[in-house]
Amino acid sequence: MVSANEEQRTEKIPVWDLPDVPSGNLPAHLELQRTRTVCTNDAPIHTENIQYSGAYASMGVDNSMRFEKFCKNFRVEVIRLGDDEMEFDMVGIDASLANAFRRILISELPTMAIENVLVANNTSVVQDEVLAHRLGLIPLKVDPRLFNYKSENDQPSEKNTIVFKLHSRCEKKSSRINVKSSELKWLPGGSEFALSTEKPTQDSTSKVKTYTSFTCSQDSLPEFSSNPIAPTHDDITLAVLGPGQEIELEAHAVKGMGKTHAKWSPVATAWYRMLPEVILLQEIEDEKAEELIKKCPVNVFDIEDIGKGRKRATVARPRSCTLCRECIRGDDWDKLVALQRVKDHFIFTIESTGALPPDVLFTEAVKILEDKCERVITEMS
């Protein structure tokens, strides 16, 4: 396909008449193959990255990854940064690295999520397990870095557990109520449920043993004193209570990672796409131009006046291309327009669930990758 385009542009020349490629540069079609993924009508081509350092050695081109080169080329540009969503461009990086960040964001960044639910009373129609599952999926607004992992044998303490209480009741003769996530109340002092197995001690003054053993109240800690822990969203429906129904429970959140369960994933999703590049292979003028503009549902193209009442299509907003491939569909349109992706330019989007802002999430992900690399290096040395 691409070579066909080449042919169209340049007259057919015998191979031996081709001009010498200046050494240190790749011929155009190889350069295209190396740096772009071309999205043709039937399938994307040149999707793979050429990793081998000596891939172009015969042409005198060094394909090795060099730190200086990386430092020179690499740049990050934040396009959009919201409370829980951000978009940024990452240029000059390999797909495998960009993917590593994505994977870490999804599954290896820890957050806090409800793991154990102690149900004291549940007369609602929602079963205990289902309710617990729903509770688990509620994102919590708390910085997981302030907590430790709780291993199986650990006592729940203020350093590894957050306790919430939910007590909701629908009075008889009233109408149904919705139990929302806002009803989850943070118990900074730990569990309030007494351990039933413990015999009540003779000494009534001593503290009743509960399911947690907090040494101090969490709200006395400086991190939480000003911003109490709560679910990020107040309006997640947990259950619907009919008249006379009641839910009383305690939910214990612990630190965990997305690979164990999706509830610990700090992102709703994180993904990237490669920078779209739309190329007009020929001048597209007048009716054709109008047609092209009409074809594109996301307004990639614009019309430019080139005088004498003639119009020419231009690529105005290649970034918004969603790759619907309408512009290269049918009637040899693929000879006029080429859709490409820049292989080392990633438009990264992070949708945070709210525990941490997305920019922090990304830096955390970078740190984790760093750790991993260091671990590999130490293991190998």
Partner 1 sequence: MEIDKQFLAAPVKTSVDKFQLLPEFLKVRGLVKQHLDSYNYFVRTHIKKIVQANDLITATKDPSIYLRYKDVRIGEPSMVLDGVTEKLTPQKCRLLDTTYTAPIYVNIEYVTGSHGSKTTQMKRDVIIGRMPVMLRSCCCILHGKDEEELAKYGECPLDPGGYFVVKGNEKVLLIQEQLSKNRIIIDTDNKGCVQASVASITAKTKSKTIIRMEKEKIYLLLNKFGTKVPIMIVLKAMGMESDQEVVQMIGRDPRYSELLLPSIEEGRALSILRDIFLANIPVDQDNFRSKCIYVAVMVRRMMEAILNKDAMDDKDYVGNKRLELSGQMLSLLFEDLFKSMNEEAVKSIDKILAKPSRSSRLDISQYIVKDSITFGLERTLSTGNFDLKRFGVNRKGMAQAVARLSYIATVGHMTKIIPQFEKSRKVSGPRALQPSQWGMLCPCDTPEGEACGLVKNLALMTHVTTDEDEGPLISLCYTLGVESFEYLSGEEVHMPNSYLIIFNGLIIGKHRRPQRFSNAMRTLRRAGKIGEFISIFVNEKQRCVYIASDGGRVCRPLVIADKGVSRIKEHHMKELKDGVRTFDSFLKDGLIEYLDVNEENNALIALYEDNAKEKTTHIEIEPFTILGVCAGLIPYPHHNQSPRNTYQCAMGKQAMGNIAYNQYCRTDTLMCLLVYPQRPLLTTRTIELVSFDKLGAGQNATVAVMSYSGYDIEDAIVMNKSSLDRGFGRCIVMKRMVSVCLKYENSTSDRIIKPQREGQDCEKMQILDDDGLAAPGQTIRADDIYINKQSPIVTRVPVKSPMALPDSSYRSSREHYKGSVGESAVIDRVALFSDRDNNMKIKFMTRQTRRPEVGDKFSSRHGQKGVCGTIVQQEDFPFSERGICPDLIMNPHGFPSRMTVGKMIELLGSKAGVSCGRFHYGSAFGEPSGHADKVETISETLVKHGFSYNGKDFLYSGITGEPLQAYIFMGPIYYQKLKHMVLDKMHARGHGPKVMMTRQPTEGRSNNGGLRVGEMERDCLIAYGTSMLLYERLMISSDEFVVQVCRKCGLLGYYNFKLKTGICSTCKNGDNISTMKLPYACKLLIQELQSMNIVPRLKLTEA
Report d(CA 307, CA 280) in Å as an integer. 20
Exactly one of 6, 7, 31, 48 binds partner 1 (CB under 8 A); which one? 48
Does 326 bind partner 1 (CB under 8 A)? Our answer is: yes
Binding span for partner 1 by CB under 8 A among 36-44, 65-73, 247-255, 355-363: 36-44
User: Residue 368 half-sphere exposure, CB side, CA atoms within 13 Å?
Assistant: 20
Does 39 bind partner 1 (CB under 8 A)? Our answer is: yes
Exactly one of 194, 208, 262, 306 binds partner 1 (CB under 8 A); which one? 262
Q: Which of residues 345-364 bind partner 1 (CB under 8 A)?
A: 349, 351
CB of 321 to partner 1, least distance (A): 9
The one-letter amino acid code at 20 reads D
Please calculate the CA angle 300-304-310 and round it to the nearest 5 degrees: 130
CB of 214 to partner 1, least distance (A): 27
Report d(CA 321, CA 60) in Å as an integer. 36
Count of beta carbons in the 10 Å neighbourhood of residue 341: 21
Q: Which of residues 132-171 bind partner 1 (CB under 8 A)?
A: 133, 137
Are residues 254 and 115 in contact, defined by beta-carbon separation less than 8 angstroms?
yes
Q: Which of residues 96-135 bind partner 1 (CB under 8 A)?
A: 96-100, 102-103, 106-107, 119, 122, 125, 127-130, 133
* 63's tokens: 């394909």
Q: Which of 260, 221, 257 is nearest to 144 (CA)?
A: 257
Does 1 bind partner 1 (CB under 8 A)? Our answer is: no
* Cβ neighbours of residue 253 closer than 8 Å, sequence gap 6 or more: 112, 113, 114, 115, 140, 142, 161, 162, 163, 164
Does 180 bind partner 1 (CB under 8 A)? Our answer is: no
Does 298 bind partner 1 (CB under 8 A)? Our answer is: yes
Residue with Cβ nearer partner 1 (181 or 218): 181
Question: How many residues make contact with partner 1 (CB under 8 A)?
Answer: 51
CB of 116 to partner 1, least distance (A): 14
Does 261 bind partner 1 (CB under 8 A)? Our answer is: yes
Residue with Cβ nearer partner 1 (246 or 285): 246
CB of 269 to partner 1, least distance (A): 5
The one-letter amino acid code at 188 reads P
Does 259 bind partner 1 (CB under 8 A)? Our answer is: yes
> Residue 359: is it exposed, middle or buried by C-beta count within 10 angstroms (0-12/13-18/19+)?
middle
Are residues 328 and 280 in contact, defined by beta-carbon separation less than 8 angstroms?
no
> Residue 242: is it exposed, middle or buried by C-beta count within 10 angstroms (0-12/13-18/19+)?
middle
Exactly one of 241, 274, 284, 315 binds partner 1 (CB under 8 A); which one? 274
Report d(CA 154, CA 143) in Å as an integer. 21
Does 49 bind partner 1 (CB under 8 A)? Our answer is: yes
- Enumerate binding residues for partner 1 (CB under 8 A): 37, 39, 42-45, 47-49, 95-100, 102-103, 106-107, 119, 122, 125, 127-130, 133, 137, 258-259, 261-263, 265, 269-274, 297-298, 322-326, 329, 341, 349, 351
